[in-house]
Amino acid sequence: MISTKTTNLCVNPAYIVLGSGGHTAEMCTISTALLSADKDMQIYNPLRFLIAQDDTTSRSKITSTMQKVGVALDETSFVYVPRARKVGQSMINSIFPTIYAILHALWIIYKDQPKMILCNGPGTCVPYCLAVYFWRLSRRLPRNTKIVFVESWCRVRTLSLSARLLRPFVDLLVVQWPALATIYKNDSKVKYFGPIM
C-alpha cells in the first residue's frame, strides 16, 4: 500500500481538483488511469486533492477510488478551498468570494509549489490554475509546473466555461470527442486521445 503521507509538507505535490457530483466521478476515473500508468507511484507522489469547503461527498469518493489502486490518503492529502462562485449565485454577489478565492489560490500555490495541477472543469479550479500561471510567469514557481485540463466527457461540440476561460493558460487541454478536437485542430494545446471515460 503506497501512502501519500510525507514528513515534509514542502515536497512538491501534484494537485488534483475535485468538483462535486459528475466532476468528481470523472476525476476518480482519470486519477485511476493516471496512477495506473505510474508504475512506481512516484511521479505524482505526493497527491493533494483540492476540494471546495462545502463539498461533502468528494473526499469519500476519491478515498475509496484511491484504495483500489493501492494509494492510502490521510489528512495531508486534502486541501479545502473556498468557492469563487456557488451554482446559481449572481455575478454581483460573487465578487467578494471570487477575490477571496483568488487570494487563497495565490497563497496556497506559492506555499506548496505544486509540480502539476490537474482539473476537469469545476469552477473551483479556475483561481488555482490562474495562480499557477501567475507564479510561473513571475518566476516564483518552476516553469515545468504543468496545468492540465481534461474536458468533461459530456462536452461534445463546445468547451465548458472553465475550459474557455483557462485555454490560454493551460499547457494541455484534453478533449474527449473528435468533433470538439476538429474545432480546435489549430490549437497545439488541445489534444484528443480518444474517450477517457
Q: For the chain, which residues make up each domain, given as ranges?
A: 2-192
Q: Is the pLDDT of residue 41 over 80?
A: no
Q: Is the pLDDT of residue 9 over 60?
A: no
Residue in 195, 165, 169, 162 with CA at minimum distance from that of residue 180: 195
Q: How confident is the model at residue 135 (pLDDT cuts 50, 70, 90)?
A: very high
Give pLDDT tens digits for 83-129. 876 666 676 777 888 899 999 999 999 999 999 999 998 888 999 99
Contacts of residue 67, defined as CB under 8 A and 6 or more positions apart, other chains included, come to none
Residue 78: phi, psi to the nearest 5? -120, 135
Give pLDDT tens digits for 183-193. 999 999 999 99
For the chain, give the number of residues.
197
Task: Name the grid cell of 129.
Answer: 490554475
pTM as predicted? 0.88
Contacts of residue 184, defined as CB under 8 A and 6 or more positions apart, other chains included, come to 159, 173, 175, 190
Class of domain 2-192: alpha beta
Q: Which residue has the higher pLDDT, 168 or 8?
A: 168
Average predicted confidence (pLDDT) for the chain: 87
